[in-house]
């Protein structure tokens, strides 16, 4: 029996981790990245490094896109068009929001691709361990074709709809990310406030540990801030992009989300100050900026 062939377009923090998980599961993995040097280390894990998007997707059963935003995804799949074949399953795992998803759905329809709206929840460590959560909307055929791919990268796939056009998964991803960004910002500001009031930086996290206000995510971000370790698991620049998406979609829905607006402004300031390549916990670093 032939192995499922998977093309991964985009091998940043998340894409590289997913590709390693796919290789570990024994799938036939091809990878492409705009900066080839970011993809080349995956050859040691068993992936074939392609020179172009079209080369990567040619003959693949499943195509995965894990890129920065909707316009970038569209640019890359257009560059891959010569290698695409009608009927290929396309797992669109980037966080693009419903507005960003619409042009991708149109491209998929034009080229006969079996599109799955499949943004993922998780950071570097879950991606590398194959323990992401996938929010998904797509056909029963796509589900069957991608079953081994999803099993390799995720602990759980939450299927929301059979028709991806409604972008149900992309909508839910923004909802969940609004909580993620708020939690990281809240932890950063609580630690900054503790320090400003003359307390130990660890006082907040230690006080809430194990109680109803606690969560593993809060403890992880608090520990990173306390240690001054901002190596990226979820890049701040990417988080800032997600904050903009959340705010734009909320405004389009007629909502006023004051916290989302404040988070978007704070993250933009952090990026402007040169912290974009760090983890989103580095939002802490702008707490003393007047």
The full DSSP string for the chain is -PPPEEEEE--SHHHHHHHHHHHHTT-EEEEE-SSHHHHGGGGGGTPEEPSSHHHHHTT-SEEEE--SSHHHHHHHHHHTGGG--TT-EEEE-S--HHHHHHHHHHHHHHHT-EEEE--EE--HHHHHHT-EEEEEE--HHHHHHTHHHHHHHEEEEEEEES-GGG-HHHHHHHHHHHHHHHHHHHHHHHHHHHHHTT--TTHHHHHHTTSTT--HHHHHHHHHHHHT----SSBHHHHHHHHHHHHHHHHHTT---HHHHHHHHHHHHHHHTT-TTSBGGGGGGGTT--
Work out whether strand 5-9 and strand 62-65 pair parallel, antiparallel, or are unpaired.
parallel
Tokens in use for 254? 């007629």
- Spatial separation of the C-alpha atoms in residues 101 and 48, rounded to whole Å: 28
pLDDT of the chain along its 290 residues, tens only?
Answer: 468 999 999 999 999 999 999 999 999 999 999 999 999 999 999 999 999 999 999 999 999 999 999 999 999 999 999 999 999 999 999 999 999 999 999 999 999 999 999 999 999 999 999 999 999 999 999 999 999 999 999 999 999 999 999 999 999 999 999 999 999 999 999 999 999 999 999 999 999 999 999 999 999 999 999 899 999 999 999 999 999 999 999 999 999 999 999 999 999 999 999 999 999 999 999 998 65
Q: Which residue has the tokens 């009031």?
A: 197
Contact (CB, 8 A) for 17 and 75: no
Q: Give the torsion sign (CA, 251, 257, 260, 264).
A: positive
Work out whether strand 5-9 and strand 154-161 pair parallel, antiparallel, or are unpaired.
unpaired
Q: What is the pLDDT of residue 290?
A: 52
Q: What is the pLDDT of residue 289?
A: 61
Q: What is the pLDDT of residue 1?
A: 47
Tokens in use for 285? 């670093």
Q: Which of 153, 125, 286, 285 is nearest to 217 (CA)?
A: 125
């Amino acid at each position: 029996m032939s192995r499922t062939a998977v093309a991964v377009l985009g091998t940043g923090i998340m894409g590289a981790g997913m590709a390693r998980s796919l290789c570990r599961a024994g799938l036939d993995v091809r990878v492409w990245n705009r900066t080839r040097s970011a993809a080349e280390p995956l050859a040691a894990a068993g992936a074939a490094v392609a020179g172009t998007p079209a080369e990567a997707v040619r003959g693949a059963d499943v195509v995965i896109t894990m890129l920065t935003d909707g316009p970038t995804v569209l640019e890359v799949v257009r560059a891959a068009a010569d290698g695409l074949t009608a009927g290929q399953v396309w797992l669109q795992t980037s966080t693009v929001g419903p507005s960003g998803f619409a042009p991708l759905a149109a491209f998929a329809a034009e080229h006969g691709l079996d599109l799955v709206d499949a943004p993922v929840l998780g950071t570097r460590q879950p991606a590398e361990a194959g323990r992401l959560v996938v929010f998904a909307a797509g056909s029963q055929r796509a589900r069957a074709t991608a079953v081994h791919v999803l099993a390799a990268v995720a602990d759980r796939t939450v299927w929301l709809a059979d028709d991806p056009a409604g972008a149900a998964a992309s909508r839910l991803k923004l909802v969940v990310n609004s909580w993620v960004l708020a939690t990281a910002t809240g932890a950063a500001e609580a630690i900054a406030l503790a320090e400003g009031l003359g307390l130990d930086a660890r006082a907040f996290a230690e006080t809430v540990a194990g109680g109803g206000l606690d969560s593993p995510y809060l403890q992880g971000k608090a520990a990173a801030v306390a240690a001054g370790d901002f190596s990226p698991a979820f890049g701040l620049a990417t988080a800032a992009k997600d904050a903009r998406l959340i705010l734009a979609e909320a405004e389009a829905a007629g909502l006023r989300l004051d916290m989302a607006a404040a988070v978007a402004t704070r993250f933009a300031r952090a990026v402007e100050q040169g912290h974009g390549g760090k983890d989103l916990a580095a939002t802490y670093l702008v707490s003393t900026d007047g």
